[in-house]
Structure 1
Amino acid sequence: MTMRSPNEGYELRALEGDAPAIQEHGRVLGELAETMVMTADRLIELGDSSLYRSQATDKLSTTAAEVEEDLRAASVRYDLTGDAVVTYGVALAQAQDCINPNVETIRTAEEEYQAARRALDDAEDERDGLRRVMPWEDEPTEAQTAAAALAVATASGELAGKEQTRNALWATYETAFGDWSEAYDAAVDGIEHAMDTAGNDDGFWEALDNFLDALGWVILVLSIVALIIGAPFTGLLAGILLGLSALVALGRLVQYAAGQATLADVALSLIALLPFGIGRVLSKGAPTLSAVMGGARGQIVSSIRSALPAMRFSTPFRNISTAWQWFRAPAAARAALPHPGVFTNPLTAMRLGGAQTAQVQTFVQTMRTSPYASTLAQLADDTARAMPTPWLQSANTNLWVGEFGYGVATTTGALSSFFGAEQVTVDDGPIR
């Protein structure tokens, strides 16, 4: 149960984070900034020195000044970021020392305070009940009245003590939590200030690239989910995946038009559309779960009702039974042929082209093992014949495996690394 402070509404919880590691990270950033400054100074010497110029390559001499400028901007960003991180690490350590050891103490104090309030309410209800004497009830004795008053006084004193303890603990918690929250906001502002001061933030294109990478992971995860979860969520997931995949492809096209991506990046982004483009073509003609379920249950309903005796005036009680069986025939059909379940075997779904087709296969087996198997035999056989052929199953498997392979490779950067796209160079711009 979530517990919040009475004044500020802060959630009662231990503060997470490795404060010493955060401070160390900030110090490392500061040391890295110093190293960048030293390297920048050395590059300037390299670019200005005729001795180095005669020994170094022409390319290095002409790009030394450009690289030096980027290094100095980066050093400013790292230095200011390091200061903000160290300051936050110190504040986090102080807040953790105050909050974390006392979380359970505060929780216990709050629970005891609430229990004391309930005890006082009960005592007051008991006292007030004695004062309300109904005509058929006896007047309370002086002993009962005195005992009720004493119980109220005792509960009131107990509540006052619990409330004082609880309020003191919460006040300390709110102060420490508020200081930590302010330190966190200050750290965020400090890092943003560092980027603004350095002026080396990649801005829109970096944000777009990060956004598309994040969408790549979402598509990858949802693709797996789409192979596990079938109807009634099949259409919803397919629509979401198609929309997200199209958005990624559009984003890569925008990057390509601005020179921020290669044609290979665009081509790879289109791979995610294949299971919902070619895959839909391959699955065309496969029976849908709703159609198969509706047809099978309809046959059972017809079979049950056709077997019922005709209603006659001479057999009123049998007429009631017949009417009851006629009306409950749909329920009997549903009981005999339950929904195959939302979750499916992802390997089966991959082979058959989707989770819904895997559900259909499961439902066919249900028809063949139901009490109405003989009635449904023809429908079960027709449905089984309409399922993807071995050739289509092989194509579906290759399509999904290829999509997952490309998705994992491109999302993790493995494919780019394989083609050498992430090698660091200084030929076309600043070091990244």
Structure 2
Amino acid sequence: MGITSPRYGFELVRMAGDADTLESAGREYQRMGSRMTWTADELSKLANATKYKSKAVDTARESAGELSGELKKAAERYSGTGPVLVEYSIGLRDAQRVVNPLVEPILVAFDRHASAVSDREDAEWAAGDTLNAMSWSPDTTQGDVDTAEQDASDARATERARAAELEDLWESFESGCSTWLDAYNRAVHDLQEAYDASGISDNPWEDFFDGLAGVLTVIGTIAVIIAIVATGPIALIALAVATVAALATLVIHVSMMAAGSHRVNGWDIAFDLVALVPFGGGVVKALKGGTRFFPALISAAGGSTATRSVLNVGRNAVEDGLRTIAGAGGVNGGQAARAANAGGIADRFLSESTGSWGRGAWNAIRSGGAKLDGTLLSMSERVGSAWPTSGSARIVATRWAQEAGTAGWLQGVNVFNFSYGLEQSVSAIASPFGIDIPTLSDLPGLDNPLARPL
């Protein structure tokens, strides 16, 4: 409305807030604090009980002791917050009872006072005009001047009455607003004391970096998916982005752990390190060879491996192998017939390897690379199953397959990385909607050893 009180500048609006809901929440906080305290005491008794001895009981006892301490701190915050909310709700309710009914009367009185000011100005202007008219108009008499002066006097009296009426209303309004302001400032102070006493820190920077790590996980997972369906420079860039995201997530989690965050534990660091396993060795090797970091990163991410030329080398190896197989008979005829058909069979072999999208996508996940990496692995697997591993048929194509299919034990790591990244991404996306999806990093037993005691 743009109208403020004359002394303290409180805006003329109805005071918002649901005092009943606040009071109910405060009493619920108190009840929860009491329940937490009772539970913490019971857990403490369990932790201190030594009647039974076994590894299982000892583990449960240790967990009970840790949880008891954490729960007591949370209970202090809830128990301290509850009464503050109840007291504030009382102050808010009292202030609303005074302030809200005054808004409309003050608006009316404000308009009446403004009208009285205008009437007084008009009356004083008319009295002045009447007095001046006596000097030049014979029709203007002293009686006219006296009447005009009386009208001005009456207008001034009305203005004073309207001002006094408005001032009384403003005084009551400001009194109610001051009651609310005192209750608010007291609540802020007491809530801060309750937070400090609990020892639980709500750090906005911790929220930021924790959220950033979640965003990086989503970005890395999306980049891997793009690399699986794309080829060429796009796939190379996507793999580099995924690697950078994994490295940045590790740096953030290590920094948070070093700062004593309770949100990061040993599982987070372990999984971040596993995510870098397929790339870390390649980066270190390239850096030792004098390559700068980002070219080394691209090389380690698979940018220098699966290309069309590599696949063509495999295709040519298949053709050469078919031409060198000795012996007679078989579905493709004798050696001469096989040699004549070798090119067509090799082309069909390559086409079938690159045309199976599902198998190529799965192998891209296993290889930790892009679409062509998956195709490369698919083709090497087909070569490996097409010829025996011994005898005269152990040919160039078989050797090429052994060189191309180098993922080895890292295939299992890459499948885990993709699955874990997908799980983390789903959790990060669902979290803003209030959906809590447990992840592997929630596993117990590897808490941050640098975290401050709660």
TM-score (norm 2): 0.50
Distance 1:54 1:83 in 2: 43
Partner of 1:70: 70
For residue 427 of structure 1, what is the aligned residue in structure 2? Answer: 445
Instruction: List aligned pairs for 1:206-217, cutoff 5 A.
Output: 206-208=206-208
Tell whether 2:252 aligns with 1:255.
Answer: yes
**Is this contact kept in 2: 1:41–1:68, CA < 8 A?**
yes
Residue 191 of structure 1 is matched in structure 2 by 191
Equivalent residue, structure 1, for 2:8:
8
Distance 2:251 2:102 in 1: 53
SS at 2:161's partner residue?
Answer: helix
Q: CA deviation at 1:412?
A: 5.1
Q: Using the TM superposition, give the Cα deviation of residue 119 of structure 1 relative to its aligned residue in structure 2, in angstroms.
A: 1.1
Judged with a 3 Å threshold, the aligned counterparts in structure 2 of structure 1 residues 8 and 197 are, in CA distance, closer, same or farther, namely same
Alignment partner, residue 276 of structure 1: none
CA contact (8 A) 2:123 2:152 kept: yes
Residue 75 of structure 1: CA displacement? Answer: 1.1
* Pairing 1:144–2:144 present: yes
Q: Map 1:8-407 to 2 at 5 A.
A: 8-51=8-51, 54=54, 57-133=57-133, 140-203=140-203, 205-208=205-208, 255-258=252-255, 259=257
- Secondary structure of the structure 1 residue equivalent to 2:26: helix
CA shift for structure 1 position 421: 3.2
SS in 2 for 1:427: coil
Structure 2 letter corresponding to 1:27: R
Query: Per-residue displacement from partner, 1:97-152 (whole Å, max 9, x unpaired)?
Result: 11112210111111111211111111111112223349865573234312211211
Would the aligned equivalents of 1:212 and 1:251 in 2 still touch at CA under 8 Å? no
Do the aligned partners of 1:40 and 1:68 also contact (CA within 8 Å) in 2?
yes
Bigger Rg, structure 1 or 2: 2
Give yes or no for contact 1:37–1:71 (8 Å, CA) kept in 2: yes
CA RMSD of aligned residues (A): 4.0
Cα distance change, pair 407–145 in 1 and its aligned pair in 2 (3 A): farther
Aligned twin of 1:303: none
Structure 1 vs Structure 2: percent identity of aligned residues? 27
8 Å CA contact 2:120–2:152 kept in 1: the answer is yes
The answer as to whether partners of 2:109 and 2:162 remain within 8 angstroms in 1 is yes
What CA deviation, in whole Å up to 9, does each residue of 1:63-113 have, x standing for no partner? 222211111111111111111111100100101111112210111111111
| Amino acid paired to 2:163 | E
Task: Give deviations 1:315-373, integer Å, cap 9, x for gaps.
Answer: xxxxxxxxxxxxxxxxxxxxxxxxxxxxxxxxxxxxxxxxxxxxxxxxxxxxxxxxxxx
- Contact 1:53–1:61 (8 Å) recurs in 2: no
SS at match of 1:132: helix
Once residues 98 and 116 of structure 2 are traced to their aligned partners in structure 1, the CA distance between those partners, rounded to angstroms, is: 26
What secondary structure does 1:84 align onto?
Answer: helix
Residues 73 and 199, structure 1, Cα contact 8 Å, conserved in 2 = yes
Equivalent-residue separation in structure 2 for 1:9 and 1:251 (angstroms): 50
> Shift of residue 39 of structure 1?
0.6
2: CA distance between counterparts of 1:58 and 1:135?
A: 112
One-letter code of the match for 1:256?
H
Distance 2:445 2:10 in 1: 52
Structure 2 vs 1, CA of residues 408 and 146 (structure 1 numbering), >3 Å: closer, same or farther? Answer: farther
Instruction: Name the structure 2 match of 1:413.
Output: 431
Distance of 1:253 and 1:118 partners within structure 2: 72
- Rate the CA distance shift 1:425–1:168 in 2: closer, same or farther, 3 A: farther
Q: In 1, distance between residues paired with 2:60 and 2:15?
A: 49
Distance 1:39 1:418, change over 3 A: closer
Task: Give the drift of 1:174.
Answer: 0.5
Q: Identify if the C-alpha distance between structure 1 residues 157 and 419 changes in structure 2 by more than 3 Å, giving closer, same or farther.
A: closer
Q: 1:207 to 1:125 in 2, by over 3 A?
A: farther
SS at match of 1:101: helix
2:134–2:141: 8 Å Cα contact kept in structure 1?
no
SS at match of 1:413: helix
Aligned equivalents of 2:246 and 2:441: distance in 1?
24
TM-score (norm 1): 0.52
Q: Tell me which moved more, 129-138 or 90-99.
A: 129-138
Q: 1:41-63: CA deviations, max 9, x gaps?
A: 11111112234665954432112
CA distance 1:416–1:68, shift in 2 (3 Å): same
Counterpart residue number, 1:306: none
Q: Which runs of 5+ in 2 are unaligned?
A: 217-244, 258-262, 276-423
How far 1:11 sits from its partner (Å)?
0.4
Deviations 1:16-46 (A, max 9, x none): 1110110111111111111111011111111
Q: Is the 8 A contact 1:409 1:415 kept in 2?
A: no
Structure 1, unaligned runs of 5 or more: 217-247, 268-405
